[in-house]
Amino acid sequence: MRIILYRRAYRTMIRYGTELSRPQKESAGVLFGEPTHEYIKIYYAEYLKIGEHAFVELEPTDILRSYIKSEILGTKLVGIYHTHPDFGVTPSSIDLKTMKIIWDISPNAVMIILDPLQQDIKNKIAAYVSSKRGNIYKIPVEIRW
Ligand SMILES: [Zn+2]
């Protein structure tokens, strides 16, 4: 399993993660695309919210609204993203709890964490999915320019 992330979606996450996140606040949103057995394509990211320095939360109503929007757009809601400005792409304990709730409802959802202030592309973005047993694991992200 891997992620194919299209530039447009990547740019949306970076743009809202930097321009709107001063002073270094987290931002969060949803990801639209196409899931298959081998990969998840992410065509669009939609910014929804700004949070605190190390906390941002999407409400169930945000997810529901995005789900309805995906139907209208003729695409799928494939996951959520949020930023960790300048503190890396490892999930926090809150992130893990949030994803356990989401994975109960939607086992194939992906969680992307992005550090918009990180210069090194390898440590700038990470994608996490759930195994069938419910363990979290990191999968490769390919940015398609
Ligand atoms: Zn986080």
- What total of structural domains would you count in the chain? 1
The vertex-30 CA angle with 137 and 130, nearest 5°, equals: 20
Nearest to 95 by CA among 79, 118, 117: 79
Q: How far is the CA of 26 from the centre of ligand 1 (A)?
A: 8
Q: Reply yes or no on whether the pLDDT at 114 is more than 80.
A: yes
Domain residue limits at 129 = 2-144
How much distance in Å is there from the Cα of 131 to the middle of ligand 1? Answer: 20
Question: What is the whole-number distance in angstroms between the Cα of residue 105 and the centre of ligand 1?
Answer: 20
18 against 10, higher pLDDT: 10
The mean pLDDT of the chain is: 90
Residue 8, pLDDT > 70, answer: yes
Q: Angle at Cα 77 formed by Cα 57 and Cα 52, nearest 5°?
A: 15
C-alpha of residue 6 to centroid of ligand 1, in Å:
22
| CATH number of the CATH domain containing 34 | 3.40.140.10
23-79 per-position pLDDT tens digit? 578 889 999 999 998 999 999 999 998 887 777 788 889 988 999 999 998 999 999
Q: What's the rounded Cα separation, in Å, for the pair 84 and 74?
A: 30
At 105 the pLDDT is 84
Statement: residue 9 has pLDDT above 90: yes
**Each residue's pLDDT tens digit, 73-107:** 899 999 999 999 888 999 999 999 888 888 988 89
Are 17 and 35 contacting, i.e. CB atoms less than 8 angstroms apart?
no
The CA 92 to ligand 1 mean position distance, Å, reads 5
